[in-house]
Amino acid sequence: MKRFLGITLGVLTAMGGFVDIGDIVANAQTGARFRMALAWAVVLGVVGICVFAEMAGRVAAVSQRPVFDLVRERLGAGVGLANLLASFFITFLTLTAEIAGVALALQLATDVHYLLWLPLCGLLVWLVIWRVRFESMERIFGLLGLVLIVLAVALWRLEPDWGGLVDSARHPAVPLGEGRPTYFYYAIALFGAAMTPYEVFFFSSGAVEERWSRRDLILNKANVFIGFPLGGMLSLALMGLTATVFAPVGIGPDHLSTVALPVSVALGKVGLALVIVGFFAATFGAALETGLSAGYTVSQYFGWPWGKRFAPREASRFHVVVLVSILVAVLFGLTAVDPIKVTEYSIVLSAAALPLTYVPILLVANDPDYMGDLVNRRLSNVLGTVYLVLLVLVALVTIPLMVVTKAGA
Amino acid sequence: MTDPGGAPAGRRLLLGRQLLDHQIVDQDGRLAGKVDDVELTLPEDRDHGRPVVTALLSGRGALASRLGGPLGRLASVLSRRILPDPCDADGDADPDAPDGRIWFGDVTDLGNHVTVAVDAADLATDAVEQAVRRTFVDRIPGAKEPGA
């Protein structure tokens, strides 16, 4: 059991990355519009995040250095600051969306409008960060998020045309009526969602919070290679669900309640209740992940004490950054900005900032001064380099594609 | 290594690669800011002396002035506005106030971190931490205990 609980960091990180509010809707939409023709983008993203999260976790375990520490050191103060501004902005946008996502899940359960829930959700997120120990936090929300496995169960119960789904995944084609730019825009959205930078900020900082050392490298691998593929599997299950239920009738789900519909079709009220609990846990987990990451990035750039392993007063500036971020996020959310649009934008924008975060990880993972004999093996370097090239290409085409497709409309 | 007149033997250090922007850790392992800049002193007699690394700069606008440009200037102005200043209104410096300098002689280890033999509480970057703690964080219930 203890061993099993050891991987909740990876599970929570992946949930926050793969099945947060924006992805829940983005995956559902791509399933309905493209069936499984974009499954490859999720798989590509899972492999990419595994490669870099494993490196980041290993660096953190061996040298106690989280990612943003490395960013400043390797990119220098100026470029590091540019990355900080971009990453912080993306993380903040996502935080706004996630807090609203928690409120949307509550609206689904209670029929009380989400804007009324929003301040309470913000307060709850802050309270957990302020008072709950890191390990307890990751266990509660990591395990609760596993309820989303109900998505896979629902897909199985629907007895979909498995052959057709697999076929559309293996021979991806742009469906009639959809433009090629739109197809690639969604591909980038899915890829970017899998590789959002706050996942490595949170994962590597979590490893330091939990005081991982060289002895925990197996734990690091288990977290990475179980957590992220699990997150990817859940997003594929969601895609499969909407491909089965919505694609044939041409409905595009653009709201959380529509996304939950196929589950209640398959599993009735119990399924619906479970999926709402799952949505709540996943968005809440993502809110914790992004809220903490806001504090982690700023503190690690400036070298301030950070983290939940100390009493809050020992990391005052860190906690102020977190508190102010949550507060502003709630206020921004209260302007009734569409949370789903916000995450979609932030994911695509983050695709443009990704190389600046992943380059320093790759550099330090190869530096024997830090890593001793635990530097990257050849496979990690080959994959890391291939992904960096890919990330740069994605970064270059992201913004133009966003403009051309009017953000996937 | 810190001996200015020493022979060229000994460990060599690349300022940009191995010192600048590295994490500073105090004698108790507390995170105590970054190496924002490095101060060298040139000897008056250039023919016989060598330049000496005298101090690491951390906090107190060192980063902002190093960054320069409009953003750096903005940060400078902001930090002077917001952060507590050890000088009083007449500009008389409080001799005990940290000025952002950490004497290089206090550096005890140069690895992934720069370890210094001082208490973080005596450093400039921590003055801000203390101010934030005093004026804000300590007033929130639960600030003194780690999470449950």
- Asked if residue B146 belongs to a domain, the reply is no
Residues in A touching B63 (Cβ below 8 Å): 77, 302
For residues A282 and A147, give the distance between their C-alpha atoms in angstroms, rounded to a whole number: 9
> Does the beta-carbon distance from B21 to A319 stay under 8 Å?
no
Greater confidence (A276 vs B75) lies with A276
- Asked if residue B9 belongs to a domain, the reply is no
> Does the beta-carbon distance from B67 to A312 stay under 8 Å?
no
- Asked if residue B148 belongs to a domain, the reply is no
> Does the beta-carbon distance from B144 to A313 stay under 8 Å?
yes
Question: Which helix (DSSP H) or strand (DSSP E) does residue A383 occupy?
Answer: helix A378-404
Closest to A320 (Cβ–Cβ): which among B111, B136, B146?
A: B136
CATH code of the domain in which B89 resides: 2.30.30.240
Q: Residue A5's pLDDT band (boundaries 50, 70, 90)?
A: confident
Q: What is the mean pLDDT of residues A321-341?
A: 94
Give the ipTM.
0.87
Which is it for strands B31-34 and B23-25: parallel, antiparallel or unpaired?
A: antiparallel
> Does the beta-carbon distance from B71 to A81 stay under 8 Å?
yes
Contacts of A241 (CB under 8 A, 6+ apart): A28, A31, A151, A154, A155, A158, A262, A263, A266
Instruction: Count CB-CB contacts under 10 A for residue A312.
Output: 25
- The residue assigned the tokens 């994911």 is A347
Q: Residue B1's pLDDT band (boundaries 50, 70, 90)?
A: very low
> So what's the architecture of A7-404 in CATH?
Up-down Bundle (1.20)
Q: Residue B88's pLDDT band (boundaries 50, 70, 90)?
A: very low
For residues B108 and B111, give the distance between their C-alpha atoms in angstroms, rounded to a whole number: 10
For residues A386 and A343, give the distance between their C-alpha atoms in angstroms, rounded to a whole number: 27
- Asked if residue B92 belongs to a domain, the reply is yes
Q: How far is CA A108 from CA A252, A273, A279, in A?
A: 19, 10, 10
What are residue A66's phi and psi, to 5 degrees?
Answer: -75, 170
> Does the beta-carbon distance from B147 to A319 stay under 8 Å?
no
Closest to A72 (Cβ–Cβ): which among B21, B24, B148?
A: B21
Closest to A313 (Cβ–Cβ): which among B24, B128, B143?
A: B143
Q: Are B119 and B26 in contact (CB under 8 A)?
A: yes
Is pLDDT of A369 > 60? yes
- Among residues A178, A186, A87, A93, the alpha carbon closest in space to that of A402 is found at A186
CA angle A298, A302, A308 (to 5 degrees): 55
Closest to A69 (Cβ–Cβ): which among B23, B58, B136?
A: B23
For residues A278 and A235, give the distance between their C-alpha atoms in angstroms, rounded to a whole number: 13
Is pLDDT of A78 > 80? yes
Residue A330 is predicted with a pLDDT of 97
Please enumerate, as own/partner, the contacts of A389-392 that have beta carbons within 8 Å and a separation of 24 or more.
Answer: A390/A48, A391/A48, A391/A195, A391/A351, A391/A354, A391/A355, A391/A358, A392/A355
Q: What is the mean pLDDT of residues A1-14?
A: 83
- The residue assigned the tokens 């392992």 is B29
- Asked if residue B59 belongs to a domain, the reply is yes
For residues B105 and A64, give the distance between their C-alpha atoms in angstroms, rounded to a whole number: 25
Query: What three-state secondary structure class fits B109?
Result: strand
pLDDT tens digits along A169-204:
998 888 878 888 889 988 988 998 888 899 999 999
Q: Which residues of B13-47 are buried (b: 16+ CB within 10 A; e: fewer)?
A: eeeeebbbbbbbbbeeebbbbbbbbbbeeeeeeee
- Name the residue in chain B with its Cα closest to that of A305: B31
- Domains in chain B, number: 1
Residue B39 is predicted with a pLDDT of 92
Mutate to test the interface with A, among B34, B78, B114 (most CBs of A within 10 A): B34
| Domain coverage including residue B97 | 15-139
Q: Residue B89's pLDDT band (boundaries 50, 70, 90)?
A: very low
Closest to B129 (Cβ–Cβ): which among A136, A304, A370?
A: A304
Is pLDDT of B83 > 90? no
Query: What three-state secondary structure class fits A251?
Result: coil
Query: What three-state secondary structure class fits A384?
Result: helix
For residue B46, give how far its alpha carbon lies from the nearest alpha carbon of chain A (Å).
31
> Does the beta-carbon distance from A316 to B133 stay under 8 Å?
yes
Residue B8 is predicted with a pLDDT of 64
Written as one string, the DSSP assignment of A113-161 is -HHHHHHHHHHHHHHHHHHS-HHHHHHHHHHHHGGGGHHHHHHHHT---
DSSP 8-class letter at B110: E
Q: What is the mean pLDDT of residues A58-70?
A: 94
Instruction: Count CB-CB contacts under 10 A for residue A255.
Output: 13
Interface of chain A toward chain B, CB-CB under 8 angstroms: 63-65, 69, 72-73, 76-78, 80-81, 130-134, 136-137, 301-306, 308-313, 316-317, 319-320, 369-370
Closest to B112 (Cβ–Cβ): which among A72, A133, A370?
A: A370
Q: What is the mean pLDDT of residues A87-108?
A: 94
- Name the residue in chain A with its Cα closest to that of B36: A77
The sign one gets for the Cα dihedral A329, A332, A334, A338 is negative
Residue boundaries of the structural domains of chain A: 7-404
| E-assigned strand segments in B10-143 | 23-25, 31-34, 37-41, 52-57, 101-103, 107-110, 113-116
> Does the beta-carbon distance from A131 to B142 stay under 8 Å?
yes
Is pLDDT of B49 > 90? no
- Name the residue in chain A with its Cα closest to that of B145: A311
